[in-house]
Structure 1
């Protein structure tokens, strides 16, 4: 697998080496030893989540407060999606910087998202299934939700018609409001 940095420090795109023959293909989706080598620390999965979305569903931006924080290893196991991450670590030299990665089942491409970085995606196909391998279990009350359509972020979702978005995400606070609330993680360099 190949690991490449994104514009957001500590976030990486992982592209597997796919082996193909007459039967189909095979690839390793996650090798924690190779990921640890790339990110400079172990990634220990604690929970695995899935969501399934119709085309043009927008989910996010979501993060988890520190503590407990939550790193994510995201893959698309069916369909296709446009994944957007945003550096929300106060004091980060890249604060507010985003990275866009297209994930699809065909390529097997994955994304590692460190703690303190918000995540969202736009489903590009019906029945798109995304898998989240996460470093902490769900802790009620620690979620940070930011308006994915916040004009100050001006994220390049690329939808051509209004997306389907949950009431929770549509009513989420702006980045300015979230920053003023003092709930964002600090940059740890």
Structure 2
């Protein structure tokens, strides 16, 4: 998952590398099916994904459970709105990122693909840069928007009406046979210290 490091994993990496400088960490991005196969084969130790793996050989935890937010740039006329109805998203110059899963199902129920006239952007930094400049609006995870909300360059406009966007979960998965390894236990400990591991799934 491309956005995990920038959105919420960076503090974990920093804490882990400071606490255990002799344990090397290599982060890689790939397709979910490839990553999970490599995890099951023992080629990688930890996978972070937006989809819960379904395998008896893998143990998973929810590491982030967050909401989606509708954001606009401070220069956008919509920044003056107190709220916007979900059915009104069709008129907001929306720039979409394909979050997949339940989000895509929700969005298609609001605006069918053949009626969506906005644009798609695969790069989260590029998407947020456009929103920040007032050139479009976006629906993103709260962790994606948080730094921009904090600095005040974008504004969250609450969505009202039904259906509301689903919550977005991120999972950490580890091959069951690797759980006894000291480095894995240390990684799990740092994740817990950062408040990342919420619930065990499998």
The answer to whether the superposition gives a TM-score over 0.5 is no
The answer to which structure has the higher helix fraction is: 2
Per the normalisation by structure 2, the TM-score is 0.23
**Greater RCO between the two (CA within 8 Å, min separation 6)?**
2
Return the index of the structure with the highest Cα Rg: 2
